[in-house]
A and B are shown apart, each in its own frame.
Chain A
Amino acid sequence: MGNRQGSMDNWMSIDFGTSSSAVAIIRNETPELAPPLDSDAVDSKLFSSVAYVDKHENIWTCRQAELMGRQDPSRFLREFKLDIRDGRVLFDSEVTYVQLVAEILKTMKEAAERFLNDSIENLVLTVPATYYDDDEKTIVMKQAAGECGAGFKRIEILKEAQAAAVYYDYLEGQSGGRTLVYDLGGGTFDAVIVEHLETEYRLVGHHAGLEVGGKFFTEKILLDYLVKAGIGRRQATNDHRQRCEEIKRQLSYRETLPPITGESYTLTRSEFEHLISSDLDKTLESCGTLLRQTELQWSDLNRVLLIGGSCRIPLVRQKIEGRLHGMNAENTHIVWQCTENKKTIDPQSAVALGAAVYAMRKFIIPPPEPVTIGVLRNSFTGELYALKEGENVFGRSTNDADFAFPKDERMSRRHFSIEVTFNGSTYEYRLTDLRSSHGTIVDNMALSHQYTFAPTSAVLKGGEKISAGTTKFDFTI
């Protein structure tokens, strides 16, 4: 590594959702959503998480599967994310979940490669906070993504909520503090608290799996519609449902619906809010329980990050605002679509984009900047520290160090310096430990004043890994 981004280093990310999935790639050090190959509209950048198994055991995925499934719903599979296990998907077919998921991931990989115009070998796959490391679902997903499945060489698993937090930091800069990730999707609600530390995004706790979400909201409209239109439940068609879904989405942006000819049913936003209010209260109770469990107050949260498509409903934000107000947590702000810098956090793609950023920072060394003096790069956050000629001091102190890391408690006030000198044709670099308490490690060698025989300084040639306190750096020329 360290050389120019070759195809071996390409990463993509997949947020595999119950109803739809989002895929992201990295281009010019920027995460981008990769749309399905067959997406024709601007707003259909998501992959539908469905599959169809035909009589010859061929697996069709995503949009094609949807078309086939409409013809023959008897071999169509949808919303199976939570059913994934080490076994067969249909009773009269040999196809397993590993094979099925592998096909879906392949479709996504292909679309992403086409979009990037390069091959992609590595994947960050996000999973709900409830999955354990050796969860059957995680194992099946990993197998499906691997060499015998979709063909990824490296597969990293990241929790959905962590990915969302990474994305927030990507847009806002290192923010620190605690984020409550409020994920209200199609069928489930997950609340997760993530702590932004210098070296990791720590999962503080979660309260997940509440069966509340967009599809149930649409169902409530549909039931209201059927009663008012005097149609029996058995007579409800897919058309009716789609109309209700559209009504729901419209009401996220306006108070009332435009009159439609030939349609007597109408619903106002406040009537809709009345239908879903108690469901939303359950999500807040869930958050309350999570806070009690983690012994935190609402005011201990720095922000509530709204993700999942159903967070587009304005009442969601209002309810949370109300709760924050009631709990004297005025300093906790709600991050919803637009952040302060007017950068958009789209609730349905934040997880995939965040996972891409995670890959970029953790696994991809950016191509060297066109600078003549070498740079230190924070291995974790990707932040760059450009060295200048002369002495460059790194340490915890904001006053005494040129590059300060006040949050790293294991770093000494002045920890190490890099002396940059010009010899006429090239720059030379010498790293010296400044009598730090815990020493400085260059590759595998400890520089320390504590031990008689330990060296205290080293010449850097480029490509070294340096660690001081809990912070790690890569040095590149």
Chain B
Amino acid sequence: MPEGFNITDKIEDAIADIRKEISGYPSLIALDQQFATIPDKLHEPMQLAIVGKISSSKSTLVNAILGEAEVVRTGAMEETWNVSWLKYGSPDAPIIVHYKDADRASEKVDRNEWANWANRHRDGNEQLKNAISWIEVTYPHPILQQINIIDTPGLDSFVGIDSQNTIDFLRKVRPDAIVMLFSKNINENTLDEIRNFRQEVGAGFSPINAIGVLSKIDDFWNSDSDQEPIDEGNRIIESLMSQEIVKNTLFKIYPLSAWVALSAYRINEDDLSTFDQLQKLPQEVLNRLFKSAKRFVTDYPDVPVAGSRRAELSGIYGRYGIWLILEHLKNGGSATILDLHKLLLRKSGFDRFLEVLQNHFVQQAATIKVHSLIVWLSAEIRKTTNDYPANAEERFVLGKIIRIMDDLVRMVKLQSNVIDFAKEYYEGRLDLEPEEFEELRRVNGEFGFSCIERTGLDANATPEEMIEMCSQRIRFWRIELNTTGVSFPSLARFMKQMLASYSVLSAEIVSAKHKLESSKNFLFGK
């Protein structure tokens, strides 16, 4: 999001307008107070929650995003037993424990003490464990400056009692965005899970703020087959993504192995020399080793590297990671740490995921934040309309507010579509002329969010000229839709977006112009 006037400012303006509308009505004070919290919330980092079933690789994924082995605990048991809220800060700062009981002060636990403290609480004292609402952990990764990452305990099933803690937390904190993890046995139940999740936590999740991950794809790998785990993952995902409920909930699902990705950050010189020893072995010997997990760690006379050393490596890279590295080396690939790092990130599917996390979540953090706030506010307003038998005048004001909010939602939605189009355009699936793509980005505020920047007119253009420009473009795109769009239906969706974007823009200019005139009147008289 560029500097200068942006979507956050736009929302702040709208909120200020709305608050002015509400102010004369005592029965709407509660609502006004909700609105009052918005400006602060808008400037907080975005909250991104990682959710999924037990042992679905959530914590491993968080660590991989931060490129660090154990920022949050991982393991085969239910390791994450409390919501961990990761914020930007010193890696040595104490961990803060927040309790559910509002009266109970939060507690600071020294980092060095943390493992002990955590184990004590985890195993010893169910009651204490249940008393905790979340813990706050700081870490100095730049990504955390823009988004806070929330690691959650596994949802046993999305409705089970064990998951209640997570669900309560999500309801209360209302993260702005989520990454939803699925492991390999995706099936019809997965759809129910998504449905239940939306029901439990609220329907505020949509492709704007939710992406999916098919985790642990290294499990699909076996040394006899040429099939790449990513391809197998994509095959499963494609059929899932054609489901209405999935399409309506998730931006996309990415196949990845967080484990292999995490290992990409842990390659060291020692391991490199062991890989070099291994890659020199004849292919039959390697094939035998990779046949099973057991054989992989067994000592053999014709394998120079000890079984225990191999076990150590497989604990870090997984057999798939090691296989990838050896294949790469055998084919004469370069053996630098950086190249192997890139190889593992690519083959684990993690680089694509990270790119989307960057593009979709980090860069769009403001849009997403605004979207989630608006969805929440709209719901609050509707609740108010139901709760208070407001008088006709109040109902009129509420109706007006709802319309402002609906317009905002539509605008934010248009903005987020741009990411989709960009993806298709760059992947060569959307055949636009460069100027068309640029116009799409411009009118949706990617080069500056003020009305004049979105029209692309020069700085002295009058509001009338801007409105005229919009109606010309609307005319143009409607004609395009009804001519080129008929011959090339795959471009029609893009043309509809252009139409909608200019309509929104034009409406905004009209209302801004109106405001400008009334303030002129106020300052200088007619």
Tell me if A288 is interfacial: C-beta within 8 Å of chain B. yes
Chain B count of residues within 8 A CB distance of the other chain: 29
Pair A78/B482 contact, Cβ less than 8 Å: yes
Tell me if B101 is interfacial: C-beta within 8 Å of chain A. no
A222 CB to nearest B CB, Å: 6
Q: Which of A130, A207, A215 contacts B489 (CB 8 A)?
A: A215
Tell me if B308 is interfacial: C-beta within 8 Å of chain A. no
Pair B487/A293 contact, Cβ less than 8 Å: no
- Bound form: Cα–Cα A210–B474 in Å: 28
Most A CB contacts (10 A, CB to CB) among B431, B478, B484, B506 go to: B478
Contacts A293-B188, A293-B191; A79 near B242 (Cβ below 8 A): no
Pair B188/A207 contact, Cβ less than 8 Å: no
**B-contact bits for A230-249, CB 8 A (1 contact / 0 none):** 00010011101100000000
Contacts A233-B431, A293-B191; A91 near B487 (Cβ below 8 A): no
Pair B487/A69 contact, Cβ less than 8 Å: no
Pair B474/A241 contact, Cβ less than 8 Å: no
Pair B239/A289 contact, Cβ less than 8 Å: yes
Pair A187/B242 contact, Cβ less than 8 Å: no
Tell me if A92 is interfacial: C-beta within 8 Å of chain B. yes
Tell me if B479 is interfacial: C-beta within 8 Å of chain A. yes
Pair A236/B479 contact, Cβ less than 8 Å: no
Tell me if B488 is interfacial: C-beta within 8 Å of chain A. yes
Docked complex: B480-523 residues within 8 A CB-CB of A: 482-484, 486-490, 492, 496, 499, 502-503, 506
B470 CB to nearest A CB, Å: 8
Tell me if A76 is interfacial: C-beta within 8 Å of chain B. yes
**B-contact bits for A60-90, CB 8 A (1 contact / 0 none):** 0000000001000111101100010000001
Pair B242/A285 contact, Cβ less than 8 Å: yes
Q: State the majority secondary structure of interface residues on A.
A: helix
B492 partner residues in chain A, CB cutoff 8 A: 79
B506 partner residues in chain A, CB cutoff 8 A: 91
B244 CB to nearest A CB, Å: 6
**A-contact bits for B240-270, CB 8 A (1 contact / 0 none):** 0011100100000000000000000000000
Pair A209/B483 contact, Cβ less than 8 Å: no
Tell me if B475 is interfacial: C-beta within 8 Å of chain A. yes
Docked complex: B430-444 residues within 8 A CB-CB of A: 431
Tell me if B133 is interfacial: C-beta within 8 Å of chain A. no
Tell me if B187 is interfacial: C-beta within 8 Å of chain A. yes
Chain B's closest residue to A241 (CB) is B487
Contacts A75-B478, A91-B503; A233 near B488 (Cβ below 8 A): yes
Pair B188/A73 contact, Cβ less than 8 Å: no
- Bound form: Cα–Cα A292–B431 in Å: 35
Q: Which of A74, A91, A208 contacts B479 (CB 8 A)?
A: A74
Tell me if A134 is interfacial: C-beta within 8 Å of chain B. no
- Bound form: Cα–Cα A219–B487 in Å: 6
- Bound form: Cα–Cα A83–B496 in Å: 10
- Bound form: Cα–Cα A187–B486 in Å: 11
**A-contact bits for B285-317, CB 8 A (1 contact / 0 none):** 000000000000000000000000000000000
B468 CB to nearest A CB, Å: 12
B450 partner residues in chain A, CB cutoff 8 A: none
B86 CB to nearest A CB, Å: 36
Tell me if A216 is interfacial: C-beta within 8 Å of chain B. yes
A76 partner residues in chain B, CB cutoff 8 A: 478, 482
Tell me if A295 is interfacial: C-beta within 8 Å of chain B. yes
A237 partner residues in chain B, CB cutoff 8 A: 487
Tell me if B6 is interfacial: C-beta within 8 Å of chain A. no
- Bound form: Cα–Cα A15–B345 in Å: 51
B244 partner residues in chain A, CB cutoff 8 A: 130, 207-209
- Bound form: Cα–Cα A266–B167 in Å: 61
Pair A238/B487 contact, Cβ less than 8 Å: yes
Pair A238/B488 contact, Cβ less than 8 Å: no
Pair B188/A285 contact, Cβ less than 8 Å: no
Pair A219/B490 contact, Cβ less than 8 Å: yes
Pair B187/A292 contact, Cβ less than 8 Å: yes
B314 CB to nearest A CB, Å: 35
Pair A210/B242 contact, Cβ less than 8 Å: yes
B479 partner residues in chain A, CB cutoff 8 A: 73-74
Pair B478/A73 contact, Cβ less than 8 Å: yes
B483 partner residues in chain A, CB cutoff 8 A: 73, 238
Pair B242/A91 contact, Cβ less than 8 Å: no
Chain B's closest residue to A220 (CB) is B490
B478 partner residues in chain A, CB cutoff 8 A: 73-76, 90
**A-contact bits for B30-48, CB 8 A (1 contact / 0 none):** 0000000000000000000
- Bound form: Cα–Cα A40–B454 in Å: 49
Pair A240/B191 contact, Cβ less than 8 Å: no
Pair B471/A295 contact, Cβ less than 8 Å: no
B188 partner residues in chain A, CB cutoff 8 A: 292-293, 295
Chain B's closest residue to A72 (CB) is B479
Chain B's closest residue to A90 (CB) is B478
- Bound form: Cα–Cα A292–B186 in Å: 12
- Bound form: Cα–Cα A255–B484 in Å: 29
Contacts A74-B478, A79-B492; A289 near B243 (Cβ below 8 A): yes
Q: Which of A74, A83, A288 contacts B239 (CB 8 A)?
A: A288
Chain B's closest residue to A226 (CB) is B487
- Bound form: Cα–Cα A222–B490 in Å: 12
A73 partner residues in chain B, CB cutoff 8 A: 478-479, 482-483
B450 CB to nearest A CB, Å: 21
**B-contact bits for A81-116, CB 8 A (1 contact / 0 none):** 001000000111000000000000000000000000
Pair B486/A241 contact, Cβ less than 8 Å: yes
- Bound form: Cα–Cα A82–B478 in Å: 17
- Bound form: Cα–Cα A285–B242 in Å: 9
- Bound form: Cα–Cα A208–B244 in Å: 7
A77 CB to nearest B CB, Å: 8
- Bound form: Cα–Cα A222–B485 in Å: 13
CB<8 Å pairs between A and B, sample of 8: A91-B471, A91-B499, A130-B244, A209-B244, A216-B489, A219-B489, A222-B487, A236-B484
List residues of chain B with CB under 8 Å of any chain A CB: 187-188, 191, 238-239, 242-244, 247, 431, 471, 474-475, 478-479, 482-484, 486-490, 492, 496, 499, 502-503, 506
- Please give me the 7 A-B residue pairs with the lowest Cβ-Cβ distance, nearest first: A73-B482, A241-B487, A91-B503, A215-B489, A73-B479, A74-B475, A76-B482
